[in-house]
Amino acid sequence: MNFADGEFELKEIQKLEGHTDRVWSVAWKPATGINGVPAVFASCSGDKTVRIWEQDSTGSFHCQAVLDETHTRTVRSCAWSPTGKFLATASFDATTAVWENVGVDFECVSTLEGHDNEVKSVSWNKEGSLLATCGRDKSVWIWEVLPGNEFDCVSVLQGHTQDVKMVQWNPSMDALFSCSYDNTIKVWVEDGDSDDWHCIQTLGESNSDDLTIKIWSDIDKSQDWHKNAPWKHVCTLSGYHDRTIFSIHWSREGIIASGAADNAICLFVENNDNEVDGPTYKLLLKKEKAHEMDVNCVQWNSGDRRLLASASDDGTVKIWELVRLSGQKL
């Protein structure tokens, strides 16, 4: 899509209230919001609960379920399995819960224990066969999904020297990225010969307290990831947020959303005018005062509309739509 002509706005569609503490994370359920299937997403909070929100026929979102009485402290992260059948939730109570979604009901079918203290992030791989968790104990755990809702820890990765704040699987292959307060991102892959996981690359720059967003590129997609370090820094976005950046997310159309402690959301698109030295990005828009407090998470829906969900310290979730200023949808 060409964003060169015309101007755009991030239009607030709905403000969702219900959580009684800051909202840490949101996650859209896969394959919803497309082909007539109502959009569904989960939100998690310092109030120890997870809320499931579903869009009705009018386009409004309503709370469909509240998952409580399982976690005893803040729920920091939530992630759907690729099929949407399971939802994993990571908590400061040192556990990760796995919920099975049957119809409108959710049942906690497994509780993963092992971290010494707060679990800060959870992520499924593209097949839904592996689950990764990380936490304050500086470790990353990889769990194998077994029949009967069983989970087996196949590796504990100890490469970071500070809290590990986030884990994320590569969307096309089994490579795991972990981001830590030690100011590094590590890339982990499985050794095909021994089934052990090891770090193939450490990226020394990340988007965080330095108020920048770093873009990295897989410089040679033909490389053997098990033996090489393929990621190269190609672009830095700076000067757009004036407080810590907490969240970034790429839409299926290549729009980067960022949320930060300045209460703002920024959108960036690739600048096609100059690719001599590699890709560059330009600001599409900045939504000042998107929330009344820190924006902790931004997540694009992959469905028919350009919907963005944001979660904040102000205890709310907001749904936004990217539209032309004329009001015409993209």
Residue-level pLDDT, tens digit, the chain, 330 residues = 566 555 899 999 999 999 999 999 999 999 888 888 999 999 999 999 999 999 999 999 999 999 998 999 999 999 999 999 999 999 999 999 999 999 889 999 999 999 999 999 999 999 999 999 999 999 999 999 999 999 999 999 999 999 999 999 999 889 999 999 999 999 999 987 677 899 999 998 664 678 999 999 887 665 566 667 788 888 999 999 999 999 999 999 999 999 999 999 999 999 877 656 678 899 999 999 999 999 999 999 998 789 999 999 999 999 999 998 865 555
Residue linked to tokens 């969702």: 16
Query: How does strand 175-180 pair with strand 185-190?
Result: antiparallel
Structure tokens of 9?
Answer: 């706005």
Judge whether 1 and 274 are in contact, CB under 8 Å: no
- The answer to whether 284 and 320 are in contact (CB under 8 A) is no
Tokens of 198: 């090891």
d(CA 102, CA 279): 43
Other Cβ atoms within 10 Å of 13 Cβ, number: 18
Q: pTM of the full predicted structure?
A: 0.93
Buried b / exposed e over 35-64, threshold 16 CB at 10 Å, is eeebbbbbbbbbbbbbbbbbbeeeeebeeb
Region of residue 151 (left: phi > 0; alpha: psi -120 to 50; beta: else): beta
**Cα–Cα dist 54/218, whole Å:** 36
